[in-house]
Each structure stands twice: as C-alpha cells, then as structure tokens.
Chain A
Amino acid sequence: MSYEEDIRQETVERFSFLKESFRIVRPRRLTLDVAYEKFSEIFDYLVHQGKFSILCAITGTDEGEGLGFIYHLAQESGVTLNLKTRVPKSNPVIQTITGVFPGAEIYEREIVDLFGAKVQGLRQGNRYPLTDDWPADEHPLRKDWKPANGSGKEM
C-alpha cells in the first residue's frame, strides 16, 4: 500500500465520515472536503498528528451561494493535501489559523479583502492587498464583481 493510502486510511479510521471525501488525486496529491463544523477538529488532527506541518497557501473560491476555502497543507515528505471547506456567503465566518501558523496572517487578510470572508481571531493590522480607501463591501474575486460595476470603472 502506498504512503498516500496509509495517510488516507489512518485519517478515515479516526474520522469515518471522511471516507467519501478523502481522495488520492495522484502521487503526493490528496484532497479532502469537510463541513465547516468539523473543520477545526480535522485541521488540528492533520497538522499535529498527520504531520502536515507546512502551510503552502490559502485559496479562496466563489462557490455561488457559498465561499470556498482551500488550505494547501504539505508534509516534509512532499505529500500535499488540499483541505477544502465552505461557508455561506450570507454569513462567511471562519476562525483564524494564525494560532497554529502565524505566517497565515497575510493569507487570511487576502481572503478577507478579495472574497469578503470574516476571519475571527485575526489580530488588528493593515489590510492586504487592497488600498485603504477601497469600499468595504466590494470583493474583487467574487464572480459577481466586474471592474465595470465596481470601483474600477475607469479601468
């Protein structure tokens, strides 16, 4: 059995409800979808017991009714896991992961600005990457935002 299958099996043994959503895409690439209620429990398990000690990036996605977040986690072995979760756009609240990865601060600010996520527990600080006078309700990477109907009219 491959190393990737071992990781999958160990995780599924612990969290049986992940059986369907934990997939091996190719060698060194895993993907896992979790409901947000279960996110922090599974995230903590993967980081601390699952040896996914590296955070490569956080990707935000517009999923229509919801906002998707992909936490790209990696092991030193090179195995990389896309841990995906989703929250409704009507209440896009997620908890910060800066307690585990202090370096995630800038990635979280990015999804706040570009997708309008509300990250609880993120310390006060400069916004990133939009300008200080950018309207608070405009999030350029949401699909309904177009340069023509947003602040970027002159573009």
Chain B
Amino acid sequence: MHDSHEHEHEFKIPLGPQHPALKEPENFSIALKGEKIMGVDIRLGYNHRGIEKACEERTFLQDVYLIERVCGICSHSHSSAYVQAVEEIAGLSVPRRALYIRTLIGELERVHSHFLWLGVAGHEIGFDTLLMYTWRDREIVMDLLAQLTGNRVNYGINTIGGVRRDISPEQGKDIIAAMAILEERTKYYIQIATEETSIIKRLSGVGMISGQDAVRLGAVGPTARASGVNRDIRREDPYAAYAELDFNVITDDHGDVYGRTVVRLKELLESFKIIRQVVAKIPDGPITVRAPRKIPAGEALSRYEAPRGEDVHYVRSNGGEKPERVKVRAPTLANIQTVKHMLRDRFLADMPIVIAAIDPCFSCTDRLVGIRHLDNHKKETLSWESLRSFSLGWHRARGFDISVAEKKLHNLMEH
C-alpha cells in the first residue's frame, strides 16, 4: 500500500526540445519524485546545422562569416577563435592595432552577454525589474557595438589577417563615457546581489557543484570559476592583446547560482578595466595584413575565453583555398554536462534558474513541458510560463518573495 502510494508520485517530465529562440535547443528528461529531481537525461543536437561540413565546402574567408553565425550572442568569440587558427597556419603576423580592436570588441561582447544573462536570471526568479533595468542598460553597449562595427550582433569585424574597421579617437571617447555609466550601473547590481536578502536566499545553495566536480565534468568559464576553479584562457593561453593588459580572474567559492551571479557581475568590472586600457594603449598602425587566398598546409588549435567559457577551434589546411577540417567546441557543450549534476536532489521549482545559470542563452517562451503520469499514462502539458509561475509561487509560499528586492532596486535607481 505504502509503496504504491509512493509510486503514484513518480513522474517523468520531458522538457524541450524545440525552441526556435534558443541557440542550442535541448531536451531534459527529468525523473521526479514529488518535488524532488531524481535524475536528468539530456538530449542535445536539435540545432545541429552541419556547419563544420559546410566550412569544408567554402573558402577560408567565406568561413569567417559562416563561423560568426555559430552563435548570435558570442559571434565575435567564434570568428576570433577561427581567424586566430587560420592566421597561425598561414604564419601571418597580425598588426597590434588589430589585436587591440579584437580585444575591445571581445570585451564589449562579454559586457552585453553578462548584462543579458543577469536580466534572464532576474526574470527566472521573478525579479522582472532587474530584467527591465539590465536590458535597458545593455542597450548602451549594443549601440556602441553598432557604432563601432556597423552591427548589433554578428559584428563582422574580423577578417583573416586583422580587422575590417578602425576606431577613431572620437569613438574612443564615446567608449570611455559609456563605460562610466555601465560601471555605475554594475555597482548598483553588485550591491543588490550581495546585500539583498531575498536574492541571496533564493540563489544560495541552488544548483550546487563543487570545484572538484566542475573540473571532473569539464566545466568552463563562469560556471567553473564560481566553484573556485581559477581558470581563464585570457590569462593561461593569452591571445589578441591580453598579454599586455592588466586584469584579474574572478573566482568565487559558493559553487551555486549565487556564486555564478557574483562572478559574472565582478567580471563586468574587469571588462570595463580592460576596455579602458585598450582605449588608452591602442598602438597606431595598420589594422590588417594581406592574407593569401590559399592557406599553406598545416593545422592550429585556437582557444578563446568567450563570455560562457572556453571556446575551442581546430583548423586544418591541405594547402588549398578551402579548409580540410574545421572543428568547433562551444563552451555550452562543456557546461551542459554539469547541469545533470546540479539538478540532482534539487526541486523542480529550481530548474529554470539552474539551467539559466550556466547561461545557455535562455530567452523566449513557447517551450513546453509535457507531464506523463507514470502509473496511468495520463498526459498533461505545462508551458514554460506555467513552470515559471509554479516556481515563483512555490518559493513565495516558502518566504522567498522577490518583490521586496524589486522595491529596493527601484529606490536605488531613482536616487
């Protein structure tokens, strides 16, 4: 009798897979007992577009544009990682000014990506004021990127041998002015995140992963650094202009969603520091060297610290004008494996924020959750929106009401 009663509360919940607004649609199959997650099975690949194969059928230069479209958020990360590999094979010595401009765009990209993440994280825990404010602030950096590169996303700044647009001293001033505003905003958000009890309580202990497990599972970027893993490709394997710039690698020992929030916020301050140094120190000179149409036979591995972690590209040339092989390992592929671990023994209500906390570019709606009762095969459908409001209600009933924080943020921003 007791056993069958327990069995009644076992569910298998498929979450996903298709979501047109995600850059990596995925399917989480969750085994639930009551509110508790007993196990998670992940199915990836729904957005496999065959880009690596397509690269082999296009020229090295055409591939810059194709590779830039691997991701809509960290497009510059992918194109930089790719051109770095091709330049290494071709033995090109990229002008220093071009390397500084690549660094500048890379850090602006990190700023917009982290602001985007903070808004999404706020939304997932019901703190929509944070979403509104951070996404408004993010427009400052989006406008700046549009001014510097001509595009808000897929900047098209990189080319083999350098960059395609120079920056003027006037633009340098605009960048510095924008950084002052963004830094002030970021400090507000750090204050909110580190002092506001309801945020701390809502995020602490959620989605835990120890440093040891993060290393074992191959986690990268802020996901690993929030578990005390002191790793950053910009310092370990410096590329572009990073070897000449001064910055700190931010780590945190919380190992939970709270830690990942703190790491991303503090990384923003480091990005502002890097951007200011780039504007102050950018050397004069050309922005590109001529690249050959045919790239000599050879291979190169290129690593890049994207906003979500290490991005790895491997390129091989057979001496022709098209690559023999292009391999891309995006950071989310390394991090998604930690989600399984983070969700085990947690509550269903924590799923939205735990998945969002590795920053897999979680944005829009229309994701469905189908519920199948294991015992009677009755089917129900739960939209992402209902799952989210279930999550908010579940936590409100336990005393985590984020509206206090909303009011506080309003007051802070108005004074």
Contacts and interface: CB of A to CB of B under 8 A. Distances in A.
Pair from one complex: yes
Interface of A: 25-26, 28-29, 53-57, 59, 61-62, 70, 72, 74, 76-78, 80, 82, 101-107, 114, 125-131, 140-141, 145, 147, 152
B325 interface: yes
Contact of A59 (B53, B231, B236, B314): B314
B320 to A, nearest CB: 13
B169 interface: no
A29 B325 CA distance: 19
Contact of A70 (B48, B233, B314): B314
B314 A57 contact: yes
**Chain B: interface secondary structure?**
mixed
A101 B45 contact: no
B371 interface: no
A61 B316 contact: yes
Most chain B CB neighbours (cut-off 10 Å) among A55, A78, A101: A78
A102 B209 CA distance: 15
B114 interface: no
Contact of A129 (B44, B233, B237, B316): B44
A72 B42 CA distance: 24
Nearest to B230: A76
Nearest to B54: A147
Interface of B: 41-45, 48, 50, 52-53, 88, 215-219, 231, 233, 235-238, 299-301, 303, 310, 312, 314, 316, 324-325, 327, 329, 333-334, 336-337
A38 B93 CA distance: 37
Q: Give 5 closest A-B pairs by Cβ, nearest first.
A: A103-B218, A129-B45, A78-B236, A57-B329, A129-B48
A29 B218 contact: no
Contacts of B217: 102-103
Nearest to B88: A26
Contacts of A107: 329, 333
Contacts of B219: 103
A55 B312 CA distance: 11
B325 A59 contact: yes
Given A72-B301, A103-B216, A103-B218, A56 B329 contact: yes
A30 to B, nearest CB: 10
Contacts of A152: 50
A105 B337 contact: yes
B79 to A, nearest CB: 18
Nearest to A114: B52
A105, A106, A140, A152 interface centre (most CB from chain B within 10 Å): A106
A57 B327 contact: yes
B218 A128 contact: no
B237 A72 contact: no
A56 B233 CA distance: 11
Contacts of B301: 29, 56, 72, 80, 82
A130 B45 contact: yes
Nearest to B27: A126
Contacts of A28: 237
16 contacts: A57-B314, A59-B327, A77-B236, A78-B236, A82-B314, A101-B216, A102-B218, A102-B337, A103-B216, A103-B334, A105-B337, A107-B333, A131-B45, A140-B50, A145-B53, A152-B50
A26 B235 CA distance: 17
Contact of A56 (B42, B50, B312, B325): B312
Contacts of B314: 57, 59, 70, 72, 82
Contacts of B41: 125-126
Contact of A101 (B44, B48, B218): B218
Nearest to B329: A57
